[in-house]
Structure formats: structure tokens, C-alpha cells
Amino acid sequence: MGSRNPVTWLGSPTFPRAARETLRDTQLRGNLRHATGTIRAKRADAVSELDDWEQLRRAGEAIKDDVLSNLDTYLVQLEEAVTARGGVVHWARDAAEACSTVLRLSRAAGASEVVKVKSMATAEIELNEALAAGGVSAIETDLAELIVQLGHDRPSHILVPAIHRNRAEIREIFRREMPDVDDSLSDDPRALASAAREYLRRKFLSARVAVSGANFAVSETGSIVVVESEGNGRMCLTLPETLITVMGIEKLLPTWQDLEVFLQLLPRSSTAERMNPYTSVWTGVTPGDGPREFHLVLLDNGRTSTLADTVGRQALRCIRCSACLNVCPVYERTGGQAYGSVYPGPIGAILAPQLGGDMHDPHAASLPYASSLCGACFEVCPVRIDIPEVLVHLRSQAVAAKGRSAESSAMAAASWVFGSHRRYEAAQKAGSLARFLTRDGRLSHLPWPGSKWTDARDAPVPQAESFRAWWRKNRG
């Protein structure tokens, strides 16, 4: 691989460092507290309507595991089916290959502007930046994605990338960045949506090329599925002459029957809806109806190496619903940008470092530690990704990549002490001397690294006698 994988943002500080800044953003804290609290409750209601939710989750897990174990077969089957229906399949090893393919195809179609359906895969490869460098401007048509783009900002949520913005900020962005917008534009959500709608309508009608991602691809027929809420996707998928879809190779489903499971799992987990408003499905090209050219770019970008990790590969089951973000107490407080990747939250903490494939990068290595391992993410995941298990697994990789450090020495020392109950008891006795640091029954100031604890919390008061010493004396 020639270039750096853009799945993590170049120059990102480590998670603790980034979080230190974002935790101070009161607007962000307020927005996320409200938004995630609301969606958490709604998701719980939507899921509780189904008696067979647990079975659906297990079915989703099993279908995706089958796909991952037989990816070679299903991918070739998909390619054959798409080709047979008049589509063209392109294979991209990494972000650079995928971007240059899309740029080449856009230019060949004579486009200086492409409209985009919200897509994580294209955000992961920084397609918009690559197209711009090649003289093609990409217009995001999902409302939240448009807000991020016009604000020259970065996304902070998988489903609602502008979740950190409020309506006053959105109005300012629109007034500054949208040509012809009425300067008296109010911050009423309806007025903001109308302004975006007018702006986008002109783009839909003039664009010759659309770029999308894919939620699913059914390999038996070569059909691609996009689910969305705003109707912008339907516009992009039907109006332009050329449609280019960039899809991660793990997005496959073997059959239409499998799709039934995921069309239940995804909307309830994601937007807490029984069904999403728009589900678009297309197969190759249909003369006289919709795009005349269809290109499918199959993206690896770290997926094959992730697949090689027997514990970590379950991250590839992800259907990008963002339920794990919405329940995560860490995400709720730090926001998404602290993760320094287009994939934030618990899934991002296991997906971004794996796709990036470089645990020597201090930022990537900090991501698996961005969790208290509370397990709320695993509990809601519609495809049962055991995120805490993978986090811990990746922590081992981070430790191995780092080699010797103050922490590894301390851990080795602790392990040596715990390796004998006599050494352990001696250490307990030595530790009880810290009693002399207590004042008025409190221990409020410890030297570094204990200060990381006592900056905000009192430390437990050391005991004169451990339990084991007491037991030996009284019961042994």
C-alpha cells in the first residue's frame, strides 16, 4: 500500500488529548446529552415491539459471519451478476485506488460536479478531497452531511454527522456558504430544510454523475440497496446519467431472504423507525429508466487484513447503524470528533485502528482505550459485535506495538507481586504506610500518576491491616 489510510485523520491527537478539548465544549455536551438521550429511549421502544429481536440479532450475526467466511465466493458471484445486468465492477485495494477510479469515471462522464448520497465508505477514503484535487466538486445531499460540508467541518456521528451543531450555527453556515440564500433566513428547522432543499434541487437537476455508498448488496442478483430518510438518495440514484457506487467488500448479503433480516435490524437500531422512509434497490442498468451507466467500486482498504484477525474480524459485521454511539457514555460526553476518524464511538474505536492497520500510530493505539468497557454497545448491537472483547484484544496489540514503557514496567512489577501471596502481603503492608498521607480521614492528593485519580476524587484510605492479615490472626 503506497499511501496512508485516511480512515483516521492525519495529525489527530490521541483520544485523551482530544477529549480534554471537546469535554469543555458546553454546546456539544448539551446537544449530545439531548440527542443521544432521545434516540436511546426511542430505540429501546422500537426494539421492544419485536418479540423476536434477539433471534433477529442472532440471524444477523450468522448471516454476516457466513458472508465473511465465504467472501471470495460471494464477491465473485456479485461481480458476475452486476456485469450480467449491464453494470461495471471495479476493484480497489485501498483509498487511493478507489478515489482515482471514481475521479476517472467522473471525468469520462464529463462531470465537473457530482452529487453524493450519504456514504461512510466515500468518507472513509476522503473521496471528496480527492475529487476536488482532480477538479471535480462533490456535493453532499444528505442534510446533515451538507451542513458538515458547507461548514468546512468534520463529521461527529455515523448517522447524524452534524449532531454537534445547533440551528443557529446551521443558519450561519447556510447564510455564509449557500449562494442566493435569503439573508433573512430564520433558524426555524423548517426554513433551514427548505433552504437546503432549494439549493439541492438545482444540483440534482444539473448533475450528470452521482456517487453513492451501499447499505447492502445482494450477491445472488447483483442488487444494491440504499436506505435513507430524506429522499435525496432517491434523487441521486435515479436522475443522473451515471451512477458510481463505492462499497466496502463486507457489505454483501447472499440472498434477498437475508435482506429481510437486515431491513428490520437496521432502521430500528439506527433511527428507531419500524421502516426507513426510502429504500432504493437497483440491479445493473435498466434501459430507459434511471442511470445509463452503473459502476460498482468494491473497496478493500484494510478489510482483508481485518478479516485475517480471528477476534477483530467481527467488526466487519457492522451495518453502520450507530446504536453503539447513541448508548455510549464516553461518546455522549466527548462527541465524535475526539476519535479522529470518520468512524467514531465504540465501533470506531475497534474499526478505525483495524482498517488503518498501524498500531504504532499513537492516535490509533489510543482508540481501543477510549472505553470503560461498560458493555452497553454490545447490548444494543444488531449484529452482536462483542465490542468490549475486541477493544481488549486491540489493547493487547497496542501494548505489543509500544514495547517497553513506564506502564509495561509497572504492569510487570504488579504481576510479579501478585505472583506470590507472600510478596503480595508484603506489598500490602508497605502500602498501608500511605495512611500517613491521609488528612482528616481523607486522601486527597497523591503524586503522579495517582494524581490522575485525586485531581477529581478522593482516594480510598489505606487500611492498617489487610483482610488476609486479619483472617490469619483471627481465623487462620
User: Which residues are near another protein by CB under 8 A?
Assistant: 15-16, 19-20, 23, 329-330, 333-334, 368-376, 378-379, 392, 394-399, 407-408, 411-412, 414-415, 417-421, 424, 428, 431, 442, 444, 449, 452-453, 455-468, 470-472, 475-476
Give the number of other Cβ atoms within 10 Å of residue 463's Cβ: 13
User: Shortest approach of another protein to residue 360 CB, angstroms?
Assistant: 15
Cα–Cα dist 17/13, whole Å = 6
User: Shortest approach of another protein to residue 429 CB, angstroms?
Assistant: 10
Residue 185 or 399 with smaller CB distance to another protein: 399
Cα–Cα dist 40/34, whole Å = 10
Residue 290 or 462 with smaller CB distance to another protein: 462
Residue 48 or 137 with smaller CB distance to another protein: 48
The answer to whether 412 touches 404, Cβ cutoff 8 Å, is: no
User: Shortest approach of another protein to residue 363 CB, angstroms?
Assistant: 14
Cell of 437: 498521607
Which residue type sits at 238?
T
The phi, psi pair for 172, rounded to 5°, reads: -65, -40
User: Shortest approach of another protein to residue 73 CB, angstroms?
Assistant: 29
Eight-class DSSP state of 372: -
Cis peptide before 287 (omega within 30 of 0): no
Residue 256 or 453 with smaller CB distance to another protein: 453
Strand order in the sheet with 242-248: 88-92, 293-299, 242-248, 209-212, 113-116, 137-140
3-state secondary structure 43-105: HHHHHHCCCCHHHHHHHHHHHHHHHHHCHHHHHHHHHHHHHHCCCEEEEECCHHHHHHHHHHH
Q: Is 3 exposed, middle or buried (0-12, 13-18, 19+ CB in 10 A)?
A: exposed
Q: Look at residue 9 and give its three-state secondary structure.
A: coil
Phi-psi domain of 329 (left: phi exceeds 0; alpha: psi -120 through 50; beta: other): alpha
Cα–Cα dist 121/167, whole Å = 27
Residue 274 or 457 with smaller CB distance to another protein: 457
User: Shortest approach of another protein to residue 404 CB, angstroms?
Assistant: 13
Cα–Cα dist 395/364, whole Å = 11
User: Shortest approach of another protein to residue 141 CB, angstroms?
Assistant: 34
The answer to whether 273 touches 267, Cβ cutoff 8 Å, is: yes
Residue 274 or 435 with smaller CB distance to another protein: 435
Residue 281 or 392 with smaller CB distance to another protein: 392
Nearest to 332 by CA among 67, 115, 88, 30: 30
User: Shortest approach of another protein to residue 446 CB, angstroms?
Assistant: 11
User: Shortest approach of another protein to residue 309 CB, angstroms?
Assistant: 14
Residue 248 or 348 with smaller CB distance to another protein: 348
Q: Which residues, 6+ apart, have CB-to-CB distance to 221 below 8 Å?
A: 81, 256, 283
The answer to whether 218 touches 225, Cβ cutoff 8 Å, is: yes
Residue 308 or 456 with smaller CB distance to another protein: 456
Q: Which residues, 6+ apart, have CB-to-CB distance to 289 below 8 Å?
A: none
Residue 33 or 201 with smaller CB distance to another protein: 33
User: Shortest approach of another protein to residue 463 CB, angstroms?
Assistant: 6
User: Shortest approach of another protein to residue 394 CB, angstroms?
Assistant: 8
User: Shortest approach of another protein to residue 342 CB, angstroms?
Assistant: 21
User: Shortest approach of another protein to residue 208 CB, angstroms?
Assistant: 46
CA-to-CA separations, 206 to 142, 168, 202, in angstroms, rounded: 17, 30, 6
Residue 129 or 379 with smaller CB distance to another protein: 379
Cell of 154: 468534520
The phi, psi pair for 308, rounded to 5°, reads: -75, -15
Residue 150 or 376 with smaller CB distance to another protein: 376
Cell of 61: 450475526
